[in-house]
Amino acid sequence: MNEWTEEKIEGILKDYGDEKFSKKIAKNIVEQRKLGRIKKHVSIDRDYKRYYAFSLLEGKIHYATRTFQALRIAVNDELEKI
């Protein structure tokens, strides 16, 4: 993930996570990488809330579930292993 292009990250978030803020989140991930390699999900999560309305943050599932699911699928190459 630390070497992927912004476009690739955006595509992964759209395709594997159906993430409606994929472009903004991908841009944020690339910006965070400028500060250093991403080693934990916390660095992605801390700025994530600003893309969501407060009402969405109160839902049953965590607001970043789709993003982390999509990234996990891509990083672990899970679709190829099925």
Task: For the chain, give every domain's residue range.
Answer: 6-81
Structure confidence by residue, pLDDT tens digits, 53-79: 554 555 666 767 888 889 889 989 888
* Between 50 and 62, residue with greater pLDDT: 62
Token output for 37: 């390699």
- Alpha carbons 24 and 58: distance in angstroms, whole number: 21
Q: Tokens representing 38?
A: 């991403």
Candidates 76, 58, 64, 57; CA nearest to 28 is 64
Residue 46 has pLDDT above 60, yes or no: no
Q: What is the predicted pLDDT for the residue at 63? A: 67
Instruction: Answer with the residue of higher pLDDT: 28 or 39.
Output: 28
Average pLDDT over the chain reads 80
Among 3-7, 29-33, 61-65, where is mean pLDDT lowest?
A: 61-65
